[in-house]
Structure 1
Amino acid sequence: MTGPPLLGAEEEFHVVDLTTRRSAPEVDALLARLDGAEFAPELQRSLVETNTPVCATLDDLRHHLRRLRARLEEVAEPLGLGVVAAGTVPLADEGDAISAGARYERMQHEYQLLVSEQHICGAQVHVDVPDRDVAVQVVRRVAPYLPTLLAISASSPYWRGRDSGYASFRSMVWSRWPTAGPPGHVETAADYDAMVAELIASGTISDPGMVYFDIRPSAHLPTVELRVCDACPQVDDVVLIAGLFRALVGRARADLDAGLPLPASRHELLRAASWRAARSGLEGDLVDLVGPSLVSPPLLIGQLVDHLRPQLEELGDWEQVLELSQATLARGSAAARQRRAFGRRGEFTDVVDALLAHTQGRTPVVEPPTTVPVSPALLGAYRPAAFDEAVSEGGTVLPHYGFLFRALERMGPRGMVAAEGALRAEQRARGVTFRLGDGEQDRLFPLDLVPRIVTAEDWAGLAAGLEQRVRALEAFVRDVYGERRIVADGVVPASVVDHAPGWTWLGTLAPADAVRIAVAGIDLVRDRADHWVVLEDNLRVPSGIGYAITSRRLIRSVMPDLEPPAGVVGLEPVPQTLRSALLSAADPPDPDGAALLTSGPADSAYYEHRLLAEQMGVPLVTPRELSVTDDGVFLPGAGAARRLSTLYRRLDERTLMTARGAEGRLIGRAVGALVARGRVALLNALGNGVADDKLVYAYVPDMVGYYLGEKVLLDNVPTYPCVDPDRRAEVLDRLDELVLKPVDGYGGQGIVIGPHAGAGELAEVSAAIRANPAGWVAQDLVELSTHPTFTGDGLEPRAVDLRAFVAQSHTGGEPRIEVLPAALSRVAPAGSMIVNSSRGGGAKDTWVLR
């Protein structure tokens, strides 16, 4: 065989009535107008199959796939029919007529309901191999990668007018056949033929064509057939799968020629990985059989494409497959797109219309969303006291939440209780925990079922304001550890800087051009629809990014039908953005010299540390594992010690200063000296706390004007520094109206909310302010917006804030700022406005709409 292996594809399509959008058993009318071997009937008369000619290139395959789809539509439309490429269609009747023929009639008699419910469509790809012995070997070697291809193809969330909860329910229907699933453990063509003969002799199947393995050698030709995939609405998804499959066949042949052993994956684990792919599609974690472990689809698919690069380059497919894989991940699975179409109005006809358009490569016509009445079951007692982000004052659900409440209405309270139980089980299985304090036991991270939505317009305004704020704070930190111009010019009083709890001599060690604030966590609240304000800046070791990523995965896992019509900005690129920020701190960037530094399992956010290190592909290290010398920071290992040039610091300065290294010596000052000499970079920089206490916060708007010369885009909450005599007098006169905060407080500790406090508590805070004015600030009370939160038997309005994350990195010597979409909404307990986890608060997944 010379040149690249030839390939071809078979696609199955649903025939639907264009008036009712229901499946239509009219394939005979179509086939009567079609000629040649490129079109064929399927088991049911509402399905039709196409067969491409053999192709040498992916471009040829794409051309024929489009040509055959166009020909089907050309013939079907005058008959009032359409064709849909998808694993299932939502509007199908059980027991559609079976196609004529003795083989189909025998199957109907033998398999009964399996045949009546075989209203499913798949896509199959064929690739040439030299002979059938090679084909059997290739089948075994490629099998472990097939769940990933299934996830790419997943396009069948709906079954008989309801959401199945799966991305590929076709797989569940298909798996009921006695020979469906991973291939058998045979190694030669003779072994394979003997196995088929035994199956026929057992009466389980009647011919070799009924061996429905996920991948199989052809019964008559030297090819291998991929059979695991759903039919795909997008032609490009078929082309991507074909390109990956041909490269996998090439890799398997190379491994065979090299004498490598067959993979040892358990048959049961292959089935489990396929089930997970059918459940999740591209919207939830998939099984990496090396481990095994759950990983995100972008990571698994990216690893697969990289693994196959030599074969793809040899075939001339590398650039095309890389581009197609990135495009598929960006738009999500076809199952998710169907759920988005359904979410706009709750109509299955919209899903079918979108599938009809996608099958022919057209953009669907989008109908506007409809209003949603309040559900008596879920919102009967819903009475928000402040601005609510989902429900209007008149009691109607706001339009951009319509899809969500339609889905919750279908679930009802009992369904939500079940989903909450599944959520907690997933959290326990994945170890999603945090710790309130020293000596406390780990507890499940409190995550609510109902996601919070931030519209694209809101996010654009927030992103601009957050970027501006971090630029100003970065300039301030550099300045106060250097020339102190802002103090000399009287914009910020010297006492504010000098007495700031976060000021430390360690802040003077960072090189002048270093990015000080690599990761900022900015807490925001809103008191009306068009008004967000900053509540607090966190510039030291802000936590929450990992919990935001995990929250998305968990919610999608237990409630896959919550798919917004506009789509949600994905969180998959976030770890790579953090990695880029980490690597950019070294000159030149050193991919092998980065690590995440944690104090270890005792840290309340250790789960997040572990997750982010895994996702960024860097080691997770504790001070005890480090060897610190005059030459640098080293991570001892089996071979030569690895020098670490950049550390993503997730422990506070005090812990670092008292930490002991691998040799048992204190390492904090030695690390500081290396920072000063440019031998190691710490992200975030030491000393950042000078810019994020509650007194300095009051001057951030002035920093924006002073350093940037710009108008402030995000307001502060009006703040009164008690160190100022005039402001202190006003505060003491208005204690029962204001929120009183200790400057060095964290986690909501020490806060007194005047309108909610008793006379004794106000008297105590008054005495504390008089005794130490510099230790207190006061703020006007902001009524936090509320959001529907599930409480076990219904939804209640709970106060929420938003922690948004901003990353900075060096790009060409200049800081590059990016607002991450991995925002974390925090939820206060009933009757409270304090959202911190340490005070009983919880969290929500936050969906930034595209």
Structure 2
Amino acid sequence: MGAEEELHLIDLDGKDLSARAPQLLSKLPEGNYSAEIQRTTVETNTDVVNTLDDLRSELLRLRKGLVEVARPEGLGIAAVGTAPRSDFSDFELTTTGRYGRMQEQYRLLVDEQLICGLQIHVGVADRDLAIEITQRIARDLPVLLALAASSPFWNGADTGYASIRTIIWQRWPTAGATGPLKSAAEYDRLLADLIASGVIADAKMAYFDVRPSSHAPTLELRVCDACPVVDDAILVAGLFRAMVASAEHEILAGRPYAPVPPPIHRAAIWRAARGGLSGDLLDNSRHPRPIPAALAVQSLVERLTPQLRRLGDYEQVSALTEAILARGNSADRQRAAFAERGQLADVVDLVVSETEGASGGVVPDAPVLRTYRIRAGDEAVGLGGHTRPVYADLVESFRAMGIDDILRAEQQRDEWIAGHGVTFGVEGYQQEFAVDLMPRIISPHEWAALSAGLIQRARAIEAFLRDCYGEQRLLADGVLPSERVVDSPGWREEALRLPADVVRAPIMGFDLVRNEFGGWRVLEDNVRNPSGAAYAIAIRDLLDEVLPDLPRPPGLLDPADALSRLRATLLANTGSDPVSGMAASAPEAGIAASAPEAGIAALLSNGSEASAWYEHKTLAERAGLLLVQPADLQVRDGAVIHVPGGERIDALYLRLDDELVDTVDGSGRAIGAQVFEAAAAGGVVLANAPGNGIADDKAMYPYVGEFIGYYLDERPLLESVPTYRTGDSAERRTVLERVGELVTKPVDGHGGAGVLIGPDASAAEVSARRAAIAGDPEAWVAQEVVSLSSHPTFVGGRLQPRRVDLRAFVYVRGLRAEQCELAPLALTRVAPQGSLVVNSSRGGGAKDTWIVTEQT
């Protein structure tokens, strides 16, 4: 056996690709080192070996030889599918006639080839046998690709793929599977026809996933990304050799096999490139179905056990399999490195250190949670149980406490919650708010990205609300059908009478989730009366009292700072706020703080029966708002008066469970209608005004991206979860066929009510929901299931993963970006075990959210 590795050359100062391969190759022996199509790459070719240990030694020897000539030039090497900071403009063609002809013929295909692969050769002297083996092992190639995937970043961004190199590579006309072949002669005829067609120039350009080598009596594996950790390449080599041996044994024994249909093979390769080890792979059945990648890898090793034992490779392959499933493939490790600071330079440093380091890779210097149930997509704990560096101090602090101290802290937490009356209403009853003691950390680069994306979204929604109840340009231009608006459950005819230039939704809430690859998605927009801010503040107060010694990171935001900003936002449109429209000093800092504003703002609540009564009380008390109920208000001469104190109210923050115009006091007085008339005449500003429900409507959620383009002339900075409008006949058919695979929600639901998660539902529940959607299509929407990220949560004094989301708040004072800010707090909500539903009303809890900003 043997191997060929393609290695990127990295400028260690700039962290970019360096096109200096010709200079380095002039100092290296031609037998083991050669040029590639791009000047930023060197290819190594091992000597022929017989054992995995010898192959490891060869790879280490050749890498060391390249490093010895590269380091004096300020260069490093990186064995990855794509260099993390590579850019289209980095491509420089190696100057040979062959490569020049290829560039002339294939144009963009060649210009994109900033990719590196790993090729493994296994000796098969009989070419007819090699062709038969090629057909039989095709079904297992996606597993090898998933193990080797090392190219999540391309052109300076996360592509969402574990191996974007595979997607780029498959554009070549001869990439992929050969299709059914019975003999070497048939393969040779195929090559001859391809060459005669003019599509390829010679046999070397047959870039099939597996092929008989064009220059050696071997079968050559070509499907894998280059692997920075040598032992990952050794694992691929060991499994590939065993696959060849197993197929040879089956052929000689005369066992039949069912060829993999080319579209299924292509689909399986695509799935491996998309998710790597963090997603699903297709199983080995005749009609393949998705299974967790780890299970597919383990099944392959088990199936190849007889051949691995015969080759003497079983113990080593088993150990290497366990290691990679624990630490993840290179794509997983690269994303984890990027998550720390959001710097691609850190990812470059990682892949260079792994490529130039020991064969087993870099051992993380972080605490290990040995009893933690590892899953892809955990925000704090990697696949090997190593905590992310940003969580290391927290984990060590809790470890030093021990289980007994943690349980005592939880008891103190419960006493604090009871003593401070932190409750949330569920079906008419107030229940204590569940809080976990392990904080969640949001890094500076994540918070900055969320700030930009959510402010953009808030501006577009505010513009939409003003337009809908004003000129209705969006409807006139056909961007949105008028019936989608006026027939919406949230449409309020009276809202047409409110002043055109007043902010309609100064307080917006957004529910966000992260998928298993770390990407943020907006799940829902909350524009009517989003709750959660007071709970975020209370949780920080709780943690400061119960666990004052937890190590706080520098740059940690204080959620209580949101209170003065809330009051300023409510008064911004009354003419009473002296800092109205003041520009933010930085995205993470938001609108600059100011002296106490003139004017009186009040929060209007239904009282103790309100589900978020604790929040109403807390916000009013700590933000300097009057807390009023309908009986406390009177309208005199077009002004809204606080009866107990006689003050005129300038801004009224509506936190009602019903519509304002329908609100009456205990005596039946239609005070809500009177207040609305005052607002329509400009006598009071209503914060989160009547009619905002059209933007809160889940059926409107899919259009927000179009609002951003229409009103702001921008592209969305944050992605939404794919959503189907069942009122559309074509989309309804799709949903009805897939109710068991989707999340379905009522368009006017809140608090998780009516949500059905298809994969977790019974057949009867799916059938009932299908009938409900068919009976009233306009009342529902459906969304793809998002595999929410998880976060360590205490269960019996030990940490275990639970799914989480994030509710963040944008304060809006106008339509310009500088008039909006992301509030310096967020509420992390935690789902019960085995659930994706995080709402408190559905058994969920919450935890402190540590938002960290850059220190200047």
TM range (shorter): 0.5 to 0.7
Deviations 1:523-572 (A, max 9, x none): 00000354100000000111111110111110121111222333411223
In structure 1, the partner of 2:420 is 430
Tell me: CA distance 1:583–1:814, structure 2 relative to 1, closer, same or farther (3 Å). farther
In structure 2, the partner of 1:602 is 609
In structure 2, the partner of 1:827 is 830
Tell me: CA distance 1:625–1:814, structure 2 relative to 1, closer, same or farther (3 Å). farther
Check conservation: 1:788, 1:798, Cα contact below 8 A: yes
Check conservation: 1:626, 1:633, Cα contact below 8 A: yes
1:415 to 400, 405, 409: 405
Check conservation: 2:367, 2:395, Cα contact below 8 A: no
2:694 to 683, 690, 710: 690
Q: Secondary structure at the match of 2:625?
A: coil
In structure 2, the partner of 1:673 is 677
Check conservation: 2:793, 2:801, Cα contact below 8 A: yes
Output the amino acid matched with 1:823: A
2:502 to 479, 491, 514: 514
- Give 1:386 deviation, angstroms: 4.2
In 2, Cα distance between equivalents of 1:403 and 1:722: 48
1:719 to 698, 716, 723: 723
Tell me: CA distance 1:832–1:625, structure 2 relative to 1, closer, same or farther (3 Å). same
Matched, 1:622 2:629: yes
In 2, Cα distance between equivalents of 1:583 and 1:823: 22
Tell me: CA distance 1:592–1:713, structure 2 relative to 1, closer, same or farther (3 Å). closer
Check conservation: 1:635, 1:643, Cα contact below 8 A: yes
Tell me: CA distance 1:384–1:752, structure 2 relative to 1, closer, same or farther (3 Å). farther
Matched, 1:745 2:764: no
**After the TM superposition, which residues 318-337 of structure 1 pair with which residues of structure 2 at under 5 Å, given as runs?**
none
Check conservation: 2:832, 2:843, Cα contact below 8 A: yes
- Give 1:687 deviation, angstroms: 0.9
In 2, Cα distance between equivalents of 1:737 and 1:484: 37
1:755 to 756, 759, 767: 759
Deviations 1:272-309 (A, max 9, x none): xxxxxxxxxxxxxxxxxxxxxxxxxxxxxxxxxxxxxx
Deviations 1:108-151 (A, max 9, x none): xxxxxxxxxxxxxxxxxxxxxxxxxxxxxxxxxxxxxxxxxxxx
**After the TM superposition, which residues 722-801 of structure 1 pair with which residues of structure 2 at under 5 Å, given as runs?**
722-801=726-805
In structure 1, the partner of 2:281 is none
Output the amino acid matched with 2:405: G
Q: Secondary structure at the match of 2:819?
A: strand
Tell me: CA distance 1:588–1:564, structure 2 relative to 1, closer, same or farther (3 Å). closer
**After the TM superposition, which residues 338-357 of structure 1 pair with which residues of structure 2 at under 5 Å, given as runs?**
none
- Give 1:373 deviation, angstroms: 2.4
Check conservation: 1:372, 1:405, Cα contact below 8 A: no
- Give 1:591 deviation, angstroms: 3.0
Tell me: CA distance 1:747–1:637, structure 2 relative to 1, closer, same or farther (3 Å). closer
The count of aligned residue pairs is 473
In 2, Cα distance between equivalents of 1:738 and 1:637: 51
In 1, Cα distance between equivalents of 2:456 and 2:684: 28
Matched, 1:584 2:556: no
In structure 1, the partner of 2:665 is 660
- Give 1:724 deviation, angstroms: 0.8
Tell me: CA distance 1:680–1:508, structure 2 relative to 1, closer, same or farther (3 Å). same
Output the amino acid matched with 2:393: F
Check conservation: 2:739, 2:766, Cα contact below 8 A: yes
Tell me: CA distance 1:784–1:666, structure 2 relative to 1, closer, same or farther (3 Å). same
- Give 1:592 deviation, angstroms: 4.3
1:445 to 426, 433, 437: 433
In 1, Cα distance between equivalents of 2:731 and 2:391: 42
In 2, Cα distance between equivalents of 1:834 and 1:527: 15
Output the amino acid matched with 2:600: G
- Give 1:664 deviation, angstroms: 5.3
Q: Secondary structure at the match of 1:448?
A: strand
1:483 to 453, 458, 471: 471
Deviations 1:666-702 (A, max 9, x none): 1111111111110011111111111111110011111
**After the TM superposition, which residues 375-390 of structure 1 pair with which residues of structure 2 at under 5 Å, given as runs?**
375-376=369-370, 380=371, 382-390=372-380
Tell me: CA distance 1:724–1:405, structure 2 relative to 1, closer, same or farther (3 Å). same
In structure 1, the partner of 2:445 is 457
Deviations 1:617-658 (A, max 9, x none): 2221111111123431111246xx211121111114436623
- Give 1:845 deviation, angstroms: 0.7
In 2, Cα distance between equivalents of 1:697 and 1:460: 23
Check conservation: 2:576, 2:598, Cα contact below 8 A: no
Q: Secondary structure at the match of 2:505?
A: coil
1:374 to 368, 383, 401: 368
Check conservation: 1:521, 1:803, Cα contact below 8 A: yes
Q: Secondary structure at the match of 1:782?
A: coil
Q: Secondary structure at the match of 1:569?
A: coil
In structure 2, the partner of 1:632 is 639
In 1, Cα distance between equivalents of 2:648 and 2:739: 54
- Give 1:764 deviation, angstroms: 0.9
In structure 2, the partner of 1:818 is 821
Q: Secondary structure at the match of 2:836?
A: coil
In structure 1, the partner of 2:556 is 568
Check conservation: 1:624, 1:664, Cα contact below 8 A: no
Deviations 1:303-361 (A, max 9, x none): xxxxxxxxxxxxxxxxxxxxxxxxxxxxxxxxxxxxxxxxx9xxxxxxxxxxxxxxxxx
Q: Secondary structure at the match of 1:614?
A: helix
Check conservation: 1:375, 1:409, Cα contact below 8 A: no
TM-score, normalised via structure 2 length: 0.54
2:381 to 381, 384, 391: 391
Check conservation: 2:660, 2:673, Cα contact below 8 A: no
- Give 1:736 deviation, angstroms: 1.9
In 2, Cα distance between equivalents of 1:643 and 1:838: 36
In structure 1, the partner of 2:536 is 548
Deviations 1:20-74 (A, max 9, x none): xxxxxxxxxxxxxxxxxxxxxxxxxxxxxxxxxxxxxxxxxxxxxxxxxxxxxxx
2:489 to 501, 504, 508: 501
Which has the higher mean CA deviation after the structures are superposed, 454-463 or 579-588?
A: 579-588
Consecutive unaligned residues in structure 2, runs of 5 or more: 1-339, 341-362, 578-596
Output the amino acid matched with 1:836: N
In 2, Cα distance between equivalents of 1:375 and 1:385: 13
Output the amino acid matched with 2:406: M
Output the amino acid matched with 1:506: E
In structure 1, the partner of 2:396 is 406
**Percent identity of the aligned residues?**
47
Check conservation: 1:599, 1:655, Cα contact below 8 A: no
Tell me: CA distance 1:564–1:593, structure 2 relative to 1, closer, same or farther (3 Å). closer
1:647 to 646, 649, 652: 652
Check conservation: 1:453, 1:849, Cα contact below 8 A: yes
Check conservation: 2:369, 2:387, Cα contact below 8 A: no
**After the TM superposition, which residues 268-307 of structure 1 pair with which residues of structure 2 at under 5 Å, given as runs?**
none
Check conservation: 1:575, 1:615, Cα contact below 8 A: yes
- Give 1:734 deviation, angstroms: 1.7
In 1, Cα distance between equivalents of 2:779 and 2:374: 35
In structure 2, the partner of 1:802 is 806
Q: Secondary structure at the match of 1:453?
A: strand
Q: Secondary structure at the match of 1:402?
A: helix
Output the amino acid matched with 1:393: L
Check conservation: 1:723, 1:774, Cα contact below 8 A: yes
In structure 2, the partner of 1:536 is 524
Deviations 1:141-167 (A, max 9, x none): xxxxxxxxxxxxxxxxxxxxxxxxxxx
Output the amino acid matched with 1:598: S
